Amino acid sequence: MKTVQNVKNSLKFKAQEKEGVLSVRVGVKKFNVPIKARMISGDNYLFLSFPASSELYRVQDNELTPLDRETDASAAFDALNPGKRRGRRRSSAAELPESLAEALKSLPAGYKLGYGVDGSPKLIRTRVRTKKG
């Protein structure tokens, strides 16, 4: 019996290397990431292997340029690092000025405040919904 790990190790160097299989869109420009992938495909199976690595690239003059190990990357960290998510803030109750509250209380029953086409306030009769039988 061959385990998945045994099969992966066996196929790793039998697969052909291909370049340009991974592309990334930054803004409106599409870049081919310079990573070589090894691939074999056959009956209902696909073997795909990337070298185990991570890389930091700079977009400059419409090209992806990998950063050297000794380069100061604090600007890249600030640009790419997502901030901490904060918990939900409780919303405080909206305060209604007394003059507005009094004006709303003076509306007759069965009417609500609306606006006309020209933007002037007017009284609108509220709809009375009846239960469907």
Q: How many domains does the chain have?
A: 2
**Does residue 81 form part of some domain?**
no
Mean pLDDT of the chain: 78
Q: What is the DSSP string of 15-79?
A: SEEEES--EEEETTEEEE---EEEEEEETTEEEEE--S----EEEETTEEEEPPTTS--HHHHHH
**Does residue 88 form part of some domain?**
no
How far is 124 from 110, CA to CA, in rounded Å?
9
**Does residue 91 form part of some domain?**
no
pLDDT at 16: 79
pTM here?
Answer: 0.38
Which among 37, 94, 103, 35 is positioned nearest to 64, based on CA atoms?
A: 35
Structural domain span for residue 121: 97-127
**Tens of pLDDT along 70-119?**
777 777 777 766 666 666 777 788 888 888 888 888 888 889 888 888 98
Higher pLDDT, 42 or 26: 26
**Does residue 86 form part of some domain?**
no
Does residue 102 sit in helix, strand or coil? helix
Tell me: do 18 and 55 sit in the same domain.
Answer: yes
Domain boundary among 52, 69, 86: 69
**Does residue 108 form part of some domain?**
yes
pLDDT at 101: 86
Residue type, 20: G
Which among 130, 132, 108, 93 is positioned nearest to 122, based on CA atoms?
A: 108
**Tens of pLDDT along 47-75?**
778 776 566 667 778 777 777 777 777 77
Highest mean pLDDT: which range of 4-8, 23-27, 65-69, 72-76: 23-27
Tell me: do 61 and 109 sit in the same domain.
Answer: no
pLDDT at 49: 80
